């Protein structure tokens, strides 16, 4: 593994040099219709189908960049006994399972990493446990293959914000521990729970933050990220940047397909973005706010007509492409539901997304993007390096049912600078 990886995220589109992923495992099937809502899903997934689709996604990423698996990173840090004990104490306290501490400490790093992700089975050794409807004393992390959300790399730092749902908070503890203690990472973490322990309203999730440029951040606020989370991030960034634009988009609370900003807006290249028109451009009740800070002080906070207008005023003019195409609002709604606006850029104009969103794929094709099937890359029929601008399409019947796309399933840690 590459040594001394410094967090370097100054854009959404710079050529990808390193990305953290988590291949979904048994935790995905450790879920039933009775607990699916608690697990933040609208349906249960079939692991065998999801795994096949994810292998395709991972192969493409491996071909285009350096990938790091969460579980491998976790096993490495757990070899340090002090780090292992520190993480177990935090998890047991946070999830009120102090009685599990000794059991977890006795596990080797391989088994411990597995159980921290897939769940610790409930021992039916007391009457209370015997009568319990639960199967796990430490619940599985059903959502962990959406690595984007738990911690948020911004510029050279990593922000750790409380996740909106307690079912995902262990993900945050694991990722913070990896960034703090893995010997290959060199970064600084900012944890809201440590720096602002009395403010329980601070929530930040990675799907709600896009680094548009080294002087422009985009954030969504809604069901997962709060205004207090935005304030926390701004407070810790404004003094480090001479000038910073922070553009905030309020999001609908329902349906759940609007959970994050990257479900309605992503960047494709230096001049193009993908939008879900009804939320981003149409007249609606959801506010767009532009904050500008200079020399460590906020100079103004004002409402804008929409995100594209705010970006234009900040010096970034973008052409919008439309999730679901431009003709049929029903098609837009259907494709947004299946992450049709959620693209992941591996370089400027080189993106990954789901093949199932045919109207969105057509929109990209009509605007100069070569459409490449992931299967053709795997079979070496096509070399992506031969194209200046492309969309790699992933098979997606099961993965989209989890509620996320290619951007959701990736946490970039290093990107090359963009020649703006």
pLDDT digits (tens, 9 = 90+) for 49-62: 999 999 999 999 99
Closest CA to 234 of 154, 148, 151: 154
pLDDT band at 379 (very low <50, low <70, confident <90, very high): very high
pLDDT digits (tens, 9 = 90+) for 319-355: 999 999 999 999 999 999 999 999 999 999 999 999 9
Decide if 144 contacts 163 (C-beta within 8 A). no
Q: For all residues of the chain together, what is the average pLDDT?
A: 92
| Full set of structural domains in the chain with CATH | 5-415 (3.75.10.10)
> What is the rounded average pLDDT of the residues 185-194?
90
pLDDT score for 257: 86
pLDDT score for 147: 96
> What is the rounded average pLDDT of the residues 114-121?
95
pLDDT digits (tens, 9 = 90+) for 10-21: 999 999 999 999
Residue 64 predicted with pLDDT over 60: yes
- Considering only residues 44 and 293, tell me which one the structure prediction assigns the higher pLDDT: 293
Computed on alpha carbons and rounded to an integer, the radius of gyration of the chain in Å comes to: 21
Q: Of the ranges 73-77, 199-203, 272-276, 304-308, which one carries the lowest mean pLDDT score? A: 199-203
pLDDT band at 197 (very low <50, low <70, confident <90, very high): confident
pLDDT score for 262: 98
What is the rounded CA–CA span in Å between residue 88 and residue 151?
19
Q: Which long-range contacts (CB under 8 A, 24 or more apart) does 374-381 make?
A: 374/56, 374/57, 374/59, 374/60, 375/56, 377/59, 377/60, 377/63, 378/56, 378/59, 378/60
pLDDT digits (tens, 9 = 90+) for 33-47: 555 444 444 567 888
pLDDT score for 37: 46
pLDDT score for 128: 82
pLDDT score for 36: 46
- Using alpha carbons, list the distances in angstroms from residue 339 to 187, 356, 400: 31, 10, 7
User: pTM of the full predicted structure?
Assistant: 0.94
What is the rounded CA–CA span in Å between residue 97 and residue 119?
13
pLDDT score for 38: 45
> What is the rounded average pLDDT of the residues 178-204?
91
- Using alpha carbons, list the distances in angstroms from residue 186 to 28, 81, 394, 414: 31, 20, 32, 11
- Considering only residues 294 and 396, tell me which one the structure prediction assigns the higher pLDDT: 294
Q: Which tokens in the block code for residue 46?
A: 């079939």
């Amino acid at each position: 593994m590459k040594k001394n990886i410094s967090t370097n995220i100054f854009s959404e589109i710079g050529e990808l040099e390193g990305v953290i992923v988590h291949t979904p495992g048994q935790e995905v099937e450790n879920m039933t219709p009775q607990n699916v809502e608690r697990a933040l899903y609208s349906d249960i997934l079939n692991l065998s189908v999801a795994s096949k689709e994810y292998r395709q996604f991972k192969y493409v990423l491996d071909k285009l960049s350096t990938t790091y698996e969460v579980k491998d990173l976790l096993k490495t840090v757990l070899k340090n006994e002090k780090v292992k004990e520190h993480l177990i104490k935090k998890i047991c306290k946070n999830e009120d399972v102090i009685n599990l501490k000794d059991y977890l400490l006795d596990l080797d790093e391989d088994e411990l990493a597995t159980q921290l992700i897939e769940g610790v089975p409930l021992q039916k050794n007391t009457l209370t446990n015997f009568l319990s409807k639960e199967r796990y004393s430490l619940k599985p992390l059903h959502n962990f293959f959406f690595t984007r959300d738990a911690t948020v790399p911004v510029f050279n730092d990593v922000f750790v914000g409380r996740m909106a749902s307690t079912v995902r908070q262990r993900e945050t503890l694991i990722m913070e521990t990896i960034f703090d203690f893995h010997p290959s990472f060199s970064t600084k973490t900012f944890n809201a729970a440590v720096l602002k322990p009395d403010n329980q309203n601070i929530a930040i999730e990675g799907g709600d933050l896009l680094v548009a440029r080294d002087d422009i951040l985009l954030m969504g606020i809604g069901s997962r990220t709060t205004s207090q989370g935005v304030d926390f991030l701004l407070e810790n960034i404004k003094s480090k940047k001479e000038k910073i634009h922070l553009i905030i988009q309020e999001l609908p609370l329902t349906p759940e397909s609007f959970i994050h900003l990257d479900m309605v807006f992503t960047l494709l290249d230096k001049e193009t973005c993908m939008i879900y028109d009804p939320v981003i451009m149409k007249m609606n009740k959801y506010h767009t706010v532009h904050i500008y800070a200079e020399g460590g002080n906020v100079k103004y906070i004002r409402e804008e007509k929409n995100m594209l207008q705010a970006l234009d005023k900040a010096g970034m003019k973008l052409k919008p492409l439309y999730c679901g195409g431009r003709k049929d609002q029903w098609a837009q709604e259907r494709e947004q539901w299946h992450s049709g606006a959620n693209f992941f850029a591996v370089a400027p104009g080189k993106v990954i997304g789901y093949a199932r969103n045919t109207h969105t794929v057509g929109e990209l094709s009509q605007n100069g993007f070569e459409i490449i099937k992931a299967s053709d890359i795997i079979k070496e029929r096509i070399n992506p390096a031969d194209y200046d601008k492309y969309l790699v399409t992933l098979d997606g019947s099961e993965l989209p049912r989890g509620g996320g796309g290619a951007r959701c399933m990736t946490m970039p840690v290093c990107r090359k600078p963009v020649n703006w």
